[in-house]
A and B are shown apart, each in its own frame.
Chain A
Amino acid sequence: MTRPARLGTIVLAIAALLPLAALVITAFGTTWFYPALLPAGWTLEGWTVVGGGRLGPAVATSLAIGSAASLLATVAAVPIGRAIARGDRLVARIGTGAAFLPIAIPPIALATGLQLLALRTGVGGTVVGVVLAHAVPALGYLTLFFVGIFRGVDPEIESAAHTLGLSPRAAWRHVLLPLLRRPLVEALLLGFLVSWAQVPLTLLIGGGAVRTLATELLAYVQAGQDRLAAVSALLLLLPALLALGASRRLARTTGTLAG
């Protein structure tokens, strides 16, 4: 390893790990006055609020909204992704464009438009409204995901099932669903992650009445409550890191990850 390469790796390690280290130190540290490099001591006090106070219900709300939005988007994305993957060139163009639109529009702009829609339909300021709003970008991502999945599934398998006398419903249940078991789990996870850290849609559609972990974190940072903010940030980071670890493990076992 050459000297510049070693130096580069060290700089990379510091740049990548320092912000995360600062979060961990703040979440577990006691008083940390300037110019001390480390806190005076260590404590779990910040974590006691997870079970109660504002943070506990916010975590529960985030879990519920993330699960519901993910389920809704996955259920809708499977037939849409299949239709696009099996369609002709026009269907593919319109379908991928349609799936890309809610992802390409900045979330705050999307939220501003959906806010009026939510208010007019009576779901503004409710958990249901936030679930529906979170499902909009999730549906975009998951449709693109299932287009890729269905392009890899030979349509002859379905044809063969029909030829052998299975009804369309039975073909779905006995042929397609077993094939899609793993992609479905991955899609549920991806949809959950899209919702889990969502802020603009929650703020504008929830109108302050729906508090999630992400909106609480924003409030803690803006109020200068660093320890609670760091605890919230680590909680917000946890599912993403678990998902990344799981996907890398899965990729390694199937040989799809190099390096």
Chain B
Amino acid sequence: MATPHPRRAVKQTSRWTLLIAAIPAVPALAGLAWSVWAAGGGLEGAFAGRTILARVAEPLLWRSAAWSLTIALVATALATGLAIAIALGYRGAASHDRVARSLAALPLPVPPLVVGLGAVLLLSQSGVLARVAAAFGWIAAPVEMPILLHDARGLGLIAALAWKEVGFLSLVACSIVAQLDPELAASARTLGMPSRAVTRRVVLPLLWRGLAPSVVAVLVFVLGNYELAALLGPADPLPLAVSIAERSRDAAPGALGEAHAAALLATLLALLAVVVHERPGRR
């Protein structure tokens, strides 16, 4: 029996390895292919590229996308700011520092749906915060409590998303701060830099460099989150994730195609955030 040429054998192994390595993407790519086909009118029996463009260009969809992107950016910025403040404020080894870090990480394992219910119970006009405000005499009736849920400003949704994500970001930020070389800050101080400037010019840039990938991951998660948007988001504009779900369950002709166009837009936004962060030449 002839033995295979060594180089050919290596190439074959490599091809098989590549195929095996690509398996996790296969269902997602198949789903995307179906979405392209359905968004282009395939379900109605007339696929065309311009149908996808027309559906993606629909103003209502862009309104949803712009609103969701704004909420995601604000919630991510808020969670990032809090996580950095916690990591810098409680970086010691004392027991209160450890307690504070544990408290900050507490939301990490809490599923988004549970966070959503917690937000409803806390922030509604007859929720826990309204009761506390009434007990202090700040409000006389539930209607005096500011509307924080299902509002177009998305205040409750931003608070819930930030609460959920501060757990993950503070965990990452605390571990980055713990691994920073103390000699760097000490050298900066020896060179005459005030404490506040050391934090701003030495510690913060290093912390941000380590934290940035996690911030992008959080932004992608927050942008695509369905559960919290469904429970706390407004009816107008409809959050992008909710808009996809509503359209995909709508029996109206063409609604499913629109749902797939919206899903493609959501995928594009999420992948764009990853690509922008991972772009070549980025430090």
Among residues of B, the one whose C-beta sits closest to the C-beta of A196 is B111
Q: For chain B residues 229-282, which have a beta carbon within 8 Å of chain A?
A: 230-231, 241, 244-245, 248, 259-260, 263-264, 266-267, 270-271, 274
Per the bound structure, the CA–CA distance linking A222 and B93 in Å amounts to 44
> B58 CB to closest chain A CB, in angstroms?
16
Q: Which of A34, A98, A218 contacts B142 (CB 8 A)?
A: A34
Among residues of B, the one whose C-beta sits closest to the C-beta of A20 is B118
Interface residue tally for chain B (C-beta within 8 Å): 83
Residues of B within 8 A of A88 (CB): 14
| B201 located at the interface, meaning its Cβ lies under 8 Å from any Cβ of chain A in the complex | no
By CB atoms of chain A within 10 A, which of B23, B223, B260 has the most? Answer: B23
By CB atoms of chain B within 10 A, which of A77, A113, A117 has the most? Answer: A113
Q: Which of the segments B44-52, B124-132, B203-211 contacts the partner chain?
A: B124-132
Among residues of A, the one whose C-beta sits closest to the C-beta of B38 is A116
| A59 located at the interface, meaning its Cβ lies under 8 Å from any Cβ of chain B in the complex | no
| B55 located at the interface, meaning its Cβ lies under 8 Å from any Cβ of chain A in the complex | no
Per the bound structure, the CA–CA distance linking A226 and B120 in Å amounts to 9
Q: Which of B31, B100, B274 contacts A117 (CB 8 A)?
A: B31
| A233 located at the interface, meaning its Cβ lies under 8 Å from any Cβ of chain B in the complex | yes
CB pair B266–A23 under 8 Å, yes or no, is no
Interface of A, secondary structure class, is: helix
Among residues of A, the one whose C-beta sits closest to the C-beta of B26 is A98
By CB atoms of chain B within 10 A, which of A87, A98, A244 has the most? Answer: A98
Given contacts A16-B103, A109-B224, contact A94 B248 (CB under 8 A): no
Q: Which of the segments A6-14, A46-54, A168-176 contacts the partner chain?
A: A6-14
CB pair B248–A204 under 8 Å, yes or no, is yes
Contact code string B173-199 (vs A, CB < 8 Å = 1, else 0):
011001000000000000000000000
Residues of B within 8 A of A99 (CB): 24-25
| B163 located at the interface, meaning its Cβ lies under 8 Å from any Cβ of chain A in the complex | yes
Interface residue tally for chain A (C-beta within 8 Å): 79
Q: For chain A residues 177-236, which have a beta carbon within 8 Å of chain B?
A: 196-197, 199-200, 203-204, 214, 217-218, 221-222, 226, 229-230, 233, 236
CB pair A22–B267 under 8 Å, yes or no, is no
CB pair A94–B115 under 8 Å, yes or no, is no
> B44 CB to closest chain A CB, in angstroms?
13
Residues of B within 8 A of A19 (CB): 115, 118-119, 121-122, 163
Given contacts A110-B31, A112-B263, contact A221 B116 (CB under 8 A): yes
| B1 located at the interface, meaning its Cβ lies under 8 Å from any Cβ of chain A in the complex | no
> B277 CB to closest chain A CB, in angstroms?
11
> B225 CB to closest chain A CB, in angstroms?
8
CB pair B21–A87 under 8 Å, yes or no, is yes
| B106 located at the interface, meaning its Cβ lies under 8 Å from any Cβ of chain A in the complex | yes
| B107 located at the interface, meaning its Cβ lies under 8 Å from any Cβ of chain A in the complex | yes
Residues of A within 8 A of B259 (CB): 112
Contact code string B26-59 (vs A, CB < 8 Å = 1, else 0):
0111111111001000000000000000000000
Q: Which of A13, A20, A108 contacts B241 (CB 8 A)?
A: A108
Interface of B, secondary structure class, is: helix
Among residues of B, the one whose C-beta sits closest to the C-beta of A197 is B111
CB pair A109–B25 under 8 Å, yes or no, is no
Residues of B within 8 A of A90 (CB): 14, 18
CB pair B241–A106 under 8 Å, yes or no, is yes
Q: Which of B35, B103, B121, B226 contacts A23 (CB 8 A)?
A: B121
Q: Which of B14, B100, B110, B178 contacts A12 (CB 8 A)?
A: B100
Q: Which of A16, A26, A98 contacts B21 (CB 8 A)?
A: A98
Given contacts A136-B28, A217-B113, A244-B109, contact A94 B18 (CB under 8 A): yes
Residues of A within 8 A of B2 (CB): none
CB pair A95–B22 under 8 Å, yes or no, is yes
Beyond A22-B128, A116-B34, A229-B117, 11 extra complex contacts between A and B, CB < 8 Å: A9-B100, A15-B163, A22-B121, A79-B20, A101-B24, A102-B27, A105-B28, A107-B224, A114-B34, A117-B30, A117-B34
Query: Using a CB–CB distance below 8 Å, which chain B residues touch chain A?
Result: 14, 17-18, 20-25, 27-35, 38, 86, 89-90, 93-94, 96-101, 103-104, 106-122, 126-128, 130-132, 134-135, 142, 163, 174-175, 178, 220, 223-227, 230-231, 241, 244-245, 248, 259-260, 263-264, 266-267, 270-271, 274
Query: Using a CB–CB distance below 8 Å, which chain A residues touch chain B?
Result: 1, 5-6, 8-9, 12-13, 15-20, 22-23, 26, 34-37, 76-77, 79-80, 83-84, 86-88, 90-91, 94-95, 97-102, 104-110, 112-117, 136, 139-140, 143, 196-197, 199-200, 203-204, 214, 217-218, 221-222, 226, 229-230, 233, 236-237, 240-241, 243-244, 258-259
Shortest beta-carbon contacts, A-B, top 5: A106-B224, A113-B31, A19-B118, A95-B21, A197-B111
